[in-house]
Amino acid sequence: MTDSAQNPRRIKSFVLRAGRMTEAQQRGFDEGWALWGVEYRPELLHFDELFGGTGERVLEIGFGMGQSLLDMAAARPTAQYLGVEVHRPGVGRLLHGVQERGLTNIRAICHDAVEVLENCIAPGSLQRIQIYFPDPWHKKRHNKRRLIQPLFTELLVSRLAVGGILHLATDWEPYAEHMLEVLNASPSLENCSPDGDYVPRPEERPLTKFELRGQRLGHGVWDLLYRRGSNTKT
């Protein structure tokens, strides 16, 4: 039986978009991949070997063009940032930025994040997972394609250490409400909001240029911050 027959509604972390790289993005990919790129293989990654030392382990899923990831890595040079993105121009732009800014604490995988989580990240090994502005799938008939669903949430939780942080952000209020419902239902997660809903943007999450533009237009952004508790599903 094929995988698609066994898992007819398997969630993917992305919609693959075609797009040419700019000269800088292509150069960043060509020059940076051998240094900071991680080829996907269905085997566990060893972070300390990958980064050449120890540090807080942070996974970012869907970093886009990577600007906020670059800013965070520059602000926290002792943390280990692993970014997962399928859009090659975005990976190229990130690697160009890593080289331009002389950063040593970022690595990138150009692959589906679900498979990376399942096959490459050891259970309980991450201190932080961040997913900023995932595709909200606006149309109701497409809502089932949203990344944040109960099964995927439990996969995320399983890769966090006890006390680890899950941080999500979206600029689409219906998706924020959906994520809040899903995450609040997880017995393994504790909402860091005293009101059980959203938190102000944490200082460590930089504002993106799109977010700044949205603010000028009066658009909202919702941050959700959760901590993995000691409860786990059996």
- Amino acid type, 128: R
Contact 171, 221 (CB under 8 A): yes
Contact 66, 92 (CB under 8 A): no
Instruction: Give the CA radius of gyration of the chain.
Output: 17
Residues 58, 73: Cα–Cα separation, whole Å: 10
Contact 176, 224 (CB under 8 A): yes
Q: Where are the beta strands (DSSP E) in the chain?
A: 57-61, 80-84, 106-109, 126-132, 160-170, 189-191, 222-228
Cα–Cα separations (whole angstroms), residue 104 to 23, 116, 133, 139 = 23, 21, 25, 40
The answer to whether 195 is a known catalytic residue is no
Question: Of these residues, 3, 30, 71, 135, which one is catalytic?
Answer: 135
Residues catalogued as catalytic = 135
